Structure 1
Amino acid sequence: MTWLRAFGEAVRSGLTIEETRLEPLLALRTAAGVGLVIGLALWLVSPAYAASAALGAYSAGGATFQRTWRPRKVIALGAGAGLALSTFVGYYLAAGRLVTFLPLLAAWAFAAGMAWAVGSTAGIVAATTVGSMLVTITLPTSVERALEHAGIIALGGVAQAVLILLFPIRRWGAHRDALADALAAVADYARRLRHDPTAPFDPEPLMTARDAAAVTPSQARTRPPVLHGPRGLAEHIRPVVAALADPDVGAPAEGPGRDRARELLNAAADVLDATARSIRRGTPAEVPPGSADVLRVDEEHEVLEGPARQAAERLVELLGEALDIAGSGGVPGKARKPPGPASAQFLVRPTMFRLVPVVVRAVRRELRRDSPVFRHAVRLAAVAPLGYLIAAQLPLGHGYWAPIASVMVMRPDFHRTYARAVARLAGTLAGVAFATVMVRALGPDAQVFGVLAVVSAGLSYTLIRTGYAYSQCFTAAYVVFLLGMGGQGLEQTAPERVVLTLLGGALAMLAYVVFPAWETPRLPSRLADWLAANGRYAAAVLRSYAEPSREHRVDMRKALLASREARAAWERAYDQAKQEPVRPRGLTSREAQEAQEALQGFGRAAMLMESHVPRDVSRFVPEAEQYAEALEADTEQAAVDVREHRNPDWGRVEEALHAWEGAAAQARSPVLRRGAELQKRALEDLTTAVSRTPLERDVGSAREEQRVRAAVAAEGDGSGPAHRGG
């Protein structure tokens, strides 16, 4: 992708309205926290003090809207504490001297950048503390005043936490949504399988549901019972519906058997949708009577036979549990809890105190030159002091706005950094215009400014998930109103805000050009990781056939989760690479797409095998162990070959399949036979996608670049596909 097209995509993305559900009640409660702090400060102290006090309440409130599974009140308290710490440290250690403040700012910005190693929520909250430190140096005049400002900022986080505690809104709502989305995704998958037996499935909803299911011991004591078990149902139903729909291991391609499979798949979708509605709303949900009637496997009149009938019986069994959940509506005592000891009923999430070693290990893993997180931290550490220095030389006040804009828009990847820079500038322009119109219409008054600030905060929170530009519009207005409440003239602050935001966005963009973290060169490594993880998962499934046991089932589950993580990492890298203005290296766009489809097919083959893993220890296939060893060894070696741009070789897999077919063909079930065929075909497709000589690869990269340029030119002159009669 060319730089011009990449920038155009960033502009389009930055200004796109994201269609998501608004949460006005949450926005109202959070804005009330801001209003409470501003009102008390206005009443007890002064407008200037109120403007400073609102910083903590607003930033802590915004942190509670980030995607995290920890309680919102904990996030508010943590954000308030971080803001207070940066406020005090920024003044206490810098003591108003530029020579000490800039190194401190660089170190703090670097630490905030490394917080992305823990997750996006930690990275975003840490970035707000950098902004707090930038504002700090302009405010207090003594250590005592620094403590006062740190305390009032922390009080803003406390105020938000208290309101969350006193006025809970849809507790466990995000966890319910995550679980419901997973069930709805499997329902959609079942419907698509009716018409396309090889339809793909994106496991991201299942991964999100698993992440949401991890709780601390204190959360486990208050979690609704309905959130305990249904995730396992979604995990077990997915491979079963895939096996039922597959014409080779499930229902026949045509005839009464295919009609029966379509009926079961449609009924499964209805039941799963009803279960999802029940969990999302916490109320009983009705399943269409016709769907419930379909879920009966008549011993005498059932048209499905063999593996297809086994899949149908297993599906009916699982959907029976889903029907119980849909009918209970999540009422305590009616929802089922998973079997086993109490300690095994939930995925453990470390408490805040036990999180420290986890954070240290995560940061240590990212402390390497090629890490996107490390490079992001270096960019932050360079841009924040540089922006502060440049803005200090300009004949403008509030020079800290420039580095704050840089810090808040910068992300570890290219596309989001540029998109947020464009969005922040557009939002700032609109917000400043909005503030100007409102002030001139209502007149300057501290109380009026305070009310307008709270209203702007509420609108910003309401639109926070519709797009950064639209939320930033009211954030900019909120800041202008706060400064006006503190005695700053609108005619002075509005132009400064626009100019310094433009400067900060430009520095953020330039920093990525100077010290980038492109994903395009890392695509072969990401693909290799996914290949190796898929191989381990397939081998674990085969070992469960060779020796059905609880230990092998546990290994199979761990390998599946690792495979999903590797696939998610590949898809994130691939999506980012498609948006980067970098020439393909190692893999062209077409080769990457073909390799992705091959590995998706390989994973689907393993999933079909998983759907019929024997639950009876007396049914085992010892010959599967040799094939598992060959498959795992060849995929591990192939991963090394892909990283080093060599052609993969599947000699051990072919030899093991040959031996298996010759000596024990009768031991293989139709599912194993079909799975092995699909795996072999997928590995051959992968070889076709990535096996090329260095000269061919260079020529292919050049042709890919020429093809993209030609497509862009065709779109520009109106001769592209969109202009050729539809």
Structure 2
Amino acid sequence: MTWPRALGEVVRSGLRIEETRLEPLLALRAATGLAIVVGATLWLASPAYAASAALGAYSAGGATFQRTWRPRKVIALATGAGLALSTFVGYLAAGRLVTFLPLLAVWAFAAGMAWAVGSTAGIVAATTVGSMLVTITLPTSTVHALEHTGIIALGGVTQAVLIVLFPIRRWGAHRDALADALAAVADYARRLRHDPTAPFDPQPLMTARDAAAVTPSQARTRPAALHGPRGLAERIRPVIAALADPAVGAPAEGPGRDRARALLDAAGAVLDAAARSIRHGTPAEVPPERTDALRADEEHEVLEGPARQAADRLGELLGEAWEIAGSGCAPESERAPHGPAGAEFLLRPTMLRLVPVVVRAVRRELRPDSPVFRHAVRLAAVATLGYLIAARLPLGHGYWAPLASVMVMRPDFHRTYARAVGRLAGTVAGVALATGVVRALGPDAYVSGALTVVSAGLSYTLIRTGYAYSQCFTAAYVVFLLGMSGQAWEQTVPERVVLTLLGGALAMLAYVLFPAWETPRLSGRLADWLAANGRYAAAVLRDYAEPTREHHADMRRALLGSREAHAAWQEAYGRAKQEPVRPRGLTASEAEEAQDALEGFGRAAMLMESHVPRADSRHVPEAERFADALEADTAKAAVAVREHRNPDWGRVEEALQAWEDTAAGHGSPVVRREAELQKRALEDLATAVSRTPLERDVGSAREDQRVRATLTAAGKSNCRAR
């Protein structure tokens, strides 16, 4: 993508309105917490203390809107504690630049490295840097600094107490994640009716699994509706894929295909009903005309062989889903025992036990080519440089420049630039709105405090609608908050706009000077996905060769690894397509072809998984030899792809040929057919990535020419339209 086109996408993304569900009750609760601490400190103390209280309560309330599976009260308390600590430590070093700047750099670097744990940790850590920049200007002594620290922490405590006293959809996010997983499989079933090889995005299943991990305290109170249905969705997905596929399931045409379409339609209806039931916690009805297809007619059944087996298995699984839809919870046989000792629970470490996990995650990212490490370096450099530049300007509130930089910076190019655009646009609109209100009302401290709370509530309400729109009311919140402290809007408004522009420009420039482009790393991501898919396919084959509980557990672990590698590839490829960087190693067309090939390879393994035999079934020894060859060749091919060499499938071809020549192999035609599908997908992958270095350079140049030609043609058509 060229720079002009990338910047155009950035502007559109920064101003885009996200179609998401608003949560006004959550926003009202967070705004109430802010109102309590601001009103109390205004009444009992002073506007300066009210500003500290507002910082703690506002940031803690905003943190509870981040996507996390931990209890919201824990997030609010952790945010308040982090803000308080950063404020006090910052004040101790704020006397001289020689002490404060190194502290600011180290603190900002640590906040950047927090992204190694996850986006929520990274965002909350960035707010602590903002707290260090802002509130060190308020105290006048160590005693006052301790008082401000306590008041900031009190804001987090207040939000946590309100969450405990007024729970709003306490398990709502977990219910939504599980319902989304079932709805995704339902949509997959409907798409398979028209496209038997339709792709499936496993992200909803991965999100549901992440949501299923609970702390010991959560395990004791998790609703029964959240036990079991995720495993049901996991089991249904390969069965409907096997039923729809003409190669191993229902025939491509005729009564068998009509019967398969009816079953898939019924599956979509039942799974949608189960999703509605879990999301709302109430029973949901399934239209009778949709479920008639589930009633098997042994005498007139048109499906045979593997397709008949898949249909029977689907009927059993949909019976469980039907029970969920009708009762609003999982069947009794699917429920895990309550308490932390339940074997079915995915345990999440408590905050104390999370420390070694964080240390290991950060240690993995401490390398020069890590996007997280580069983000941390940029964050530290921009925070200190912005603070120095703003201190030299004849403007007050110089901390706004580094604060804007810290809050918009992300580890990737597109989000950093889009948030910079959104923050500037939102700030301009917000200060204009607040200026008009102040000029019209001329509010005193208490009215300014009320306007601060209202602005914060609107910011919370729009927090998931788009950064620019939430930032609009955040900017108004800051203007009213400073007005509550007695500062004139004529001074603060232009300062806010200019310093926000400076901070956004520094953030954008920092990414250009020290980038972390995903485009050069695409070959490595593709290699990781290939190796993970090879391990998954080999694990499925070994379960055929010798169906045991250990092999089944290995297959499950390999499947999860394959999904993680697939998700990493998709995220990297999505970012690479938005970067103004020339393709290196893989052109756009090659990446698309390689992605299609690996999706086909993974799909063949999934189809094979749907026919995994029971423990007492006949073994397939040929599958073991093919599994060894497949795992060895994909591991070597992953190294070749990473080093831009051509992959080779010699052992796979030999093992498959030996399987076909073995008399015993003819007893498992379905498994062998799926193995042939895997080999064909690997050949497609080799075709996509097997090119000489000269051909790669020519391909990259042709890709650039194609993009330029497309843009030129689009420009000419627009001119003609005008």
Q: Please confirm whether the aligned pair reaches a TM-score higher than 0.5, indicating the same fold.
A: yes
2:342 match: secondary structure: helix
Q: How many angstroms apart in 2 are the aligned matches of 1:448 and 1:717?
A: 55
Match in the other structure for 2:70: 70
Match in the other structure for 2:529: 530
Q: How many angstroms apart in 1 are the aligned matches of 2:665 and 2:544?
A: 14
Amino acid at match of 1:230: P
Q: How many angstroms apart in 1 are the aligned matches of 2:338 and 2:105?
A: 51
Match in the other structure for 1:466: 465
Match in the other structure for 2:179: 180
Q: How many angstroms apart in 1 are the aligned matches of 2:649 and 2:329?
A: 50
Match in the other structure for 2:7: 7
Match in the other structure for 1:222: 221
Q: How many angstroms apart in 2 are the aligned matches of 1:671 and 1:441?
A: 77
Q: Over the residues paired in the alignment, what is the CA RMSD in angstroms?
A: 1.5
Amino acid at match of 2:8: G
Match in the other structure for 1:330: 329
How far off is 1:664 after superposition?
A: 3.5
Q: How many angstroms apart in 2 are the aligned matches of 1:452 and 1:539?
A: 62
Conserved? CA contact 1:547–1:617, under 8 Å: no
Q: TM-score, normalised by structure 2?
A: 0.98
Q: How many angstroms apart in 1 are the aligned matches of 2:260 and 2:669?
A: 18
Match in the other structure for 2:311: 312
Q: Compared with structure 1, are the counterparts of its residues 708 and 132 closer, same or farther at alpha carbon in structure 2 (3 Å cutoff)? A: same
Amino acid at match of 1:64: T
Match in the other structure for 1:664: 663
Amino acid at match of 1:113: G
Match in the other structure for 1:343: 342
Q: How does 1:397-408 map to 2 (within 5 A)?
A: 397-408=396-407
1:381 match: secondary structure: helix
How far off is 1:340 after superposition?
A: 11
Match in the other structure for 2:434: 435
Q: How does 1:266-665 map to 2 (within 5 A)?
A: 266-330=265-329, 336-338=334-336, 342-664=341-663
Q: TM-score, normalised by structure 1?
A: 0.98
How far off is 1:138 after superposition?
A: 1.2
277-286 or 673-682, larger mean C-alpha shift: 673-682
Q: How many angstroms apart in 1 are the aligned matches of 2:667 and 2:12?
A: 53
Q: How many angstroms apart in 1 are the aligned matches of 2:5 and 2:100?
A: 39
Match in the other structure for 1:707: 706
Amino acid at match of 2:239: V
Q: Compared with structure 1, are the counterparts of its residues 295 and 104 closer, same or farther at alpha carbon in structure 2 (3 Å cutoff)? A: same
Conserved? CA contact 2:48–2:138, under 8 Å: no
Q: How many angstroms apart in 1 are the aligned matches of 2:335 and 2:299?
A: 34
How far off is 1:688 after superposition?
A: 0.8
Q: How many angstroms apart in 2 are the aligned matches of 1:441 and 1:347?
A: 56
Conserved? CA contact 2:179–2:275, under 8 Å: yes
2:427 match: secondary structure: helix
2:453 match: secondary structure: helix
How far off is 1:437 after superposition?
A: 1.1
Ranges in structure 2 where 5+ consecutive residues have no aligned partner: none
Report sequence identity in percent: 83
Conserved? CA contact 1:226–1:336, under 8 Å: no
Match in the other structure for 1:260: 259
Match in the other structure for 1:147: 146
Q: Compared with structure 1, are the counterparts of its residues 405 and 264 closer, same or farther at alpha carbon in structure 2 (3 Å cutoff)? A: same
Match in the other structure for 1:236: 235
Amino acid at match of 2:482: L
How far off is 1:300 after superposition?
A: 2.1
Q: Deviations over 1:541-560 (max 9, x none)?
A: 00000000110010000000
1:68 match: secondary structure: coil
Q: Deviations over 1:638-689 (max 9, x none)?
A: 0000011110000000000000000136445343123112111111110111
320-329 or 13-22, larger mean C-alpha shift: 320-329
Q: How many angstroms apart in 2 are the aligned matches of 1:241 and 1:286?
A: 22
Amino acid at match of 1:70: R
Q: Compared with structure 1, are the counterparts of its residues 339 and 322 closer, same or farther at alpha carbon in structure 2 (3 Å cutoff)? A: farther
Ranges in structure 1 where 5+ consecutive residues have no aligned partner: none
2:425 match: secondary structure: helix
Q: How many angstroms apart in 2 are the aligned matches of 1:587 and 1:445?
A: 62
Match in the other structure for 1:29: 29
Q: Deviations over 1:388-445 (max 9, x none)?
A: 0000111100000000000000000000000000000000000001101111121131
Conserved? CA contact 2:52–2:135, under 8 Å: no
Q: Deviations over 1:510-555 (max 9, x none)?
A: 0001100000000000000000000000000000000001100100
Amino acid at match of 1:537: Y
Amino acid at match of 1:137: I
Conserved? CA contact 1:225–1:336, under 8 Å: no
Q: How many angstroms apart in 2 are the aligned matches of 1:553 and 1:334?
A: 24
Conserved? CA contact 1:401–1:504, under 8 Å: yes
Amino acid at match of 1:301: H
Q: How many angstroms apart in 2 are the aligned matches of 1:160 and 1:524?
A: 46
Q: How many angstroms apart in 1 are the aligned matches of 2:381 and 2:333?
A: 54
Q: Compared with structure 1, are the counterparts of its residues 31 and 233 closer, same or farther at alpha carbon in structure 2 (3 Å cutoff)? A: same
Conserved? CA contact 1:226–1:335, under 8 Å: no
Q: How many angstroms apart in 1 are the aligned matches of 2:408 and 2:172?
A: 29
Q: Compared with structure 1, are the counterparts of its residues 340 and 685 closer, same or farther at alpha carbon in structure 2 (3 Å cutoff)? A: farther
Amino acid at match of 2:82: G
The yes-or-no answer on 1:100 pairing with 2:99 is yes
Q: Compared with structure 1, are the counterparts of its residues 339 and 662 closer, same or farther at alpha carbon in structure 2 (3 Å cutoff)? A: farther
Amino acid at match of 1:156: G
Q: Deviations over 1:19-43 (max 9, x none)?
A: 0000000000001011111000111
1:222 match: secondary structure: coil
Q: Compared with structure 1, are the counterparts of its residues 198 and 488 closer, same or farther at alpha carbon in structure 2 (3 Å cutoff)? A: same
Q: Deviations over 1:76-106 (max 9, x none)?
A: 00000000000011012x0421110000000
Amino acid at match of 2:629: A
Q: Deviations over 1:469-496 (max 9, x none)?
A: 0000000000110000001100100110
Amino acid at match of 1:548: P
1:344 match: secondary structure: coil
Instruction: Work out the number of aligned pairs and report it.
Output: 721
Amino acid at match of 1:27: A
Q: Deviations over 1:93-123 (max 9, x none)?
A: x042111000000000000000000000000
Conserved? CA contact 1:608–1:671, under 8 Å: no
Conserved? CA contact 2:336–2:345, under 8 Å: no
Match in the other structure for 2:87: 87
Q: Deviations over 1:363-396 (max 9, x none)?
A: 0000000000000000001000100000011110
Amino acid at match of 1:65: F
Q: How many angstroms apart in 1 are the aligned matches of 2:37 and 2:433?
A: 24
The yes-or-no answer on 1:192 pairing with 2:224 is no
Match in the other structure for 1:690: 689
Q: How many angstroms apart in 1 are the aligned matches of 2:191 and 2:721?
A: 31
Conserved? CA contact 2:49–2:151, under 8 Å: no
Conserved? CA contact 2:219–2:338, under 8 Å: no
How far off is 1:291 after superposition?
A: 2.3
1:299 match: secondary structure: coil
Q: Compared with structure 1, are the counterparts of its residues 124 and 299 closer, same or farther at alpha carbon in structure 2 (3 Å cutoff)? A: same
The yes-or-no answer on 1:119 pairing with 2:118 is yes
94-103 or 689-698, larger mean C-alpha shift: 94-103
Match in the other structure for 1:203: 202
Q: Compared with structure 1, are the counterparts of its residues 675 and 338 closer, same or farther at alpha carbon in structure 2 (3 Å cutoff)? A: farther
Amino acid at match of 1:248: A
Q: Deviations over 1:567-599 (max 9, x none)?
A: 000111101000111110000011001000000
How far off is 1:296 after superposition?
A: 2.1
2:285 match: secondary structure: coil
Q: How many angstroms apart in 2 are the aligned matches of 1:388 and 1:201?
A: 48
Q: How many angstroms apart in 2 are the aligned matches of 1:135 and 1:340?
A: 46
523-532 or 319-328, larger mean C-alpha shift: 319-328
Q: How many angstroms apart in 2 are the aligned matches of 1:402 and 1:639?
A: 45
Q: Deviations over 1:245-264 (max 9, x none)?
A: 00121111111111110010
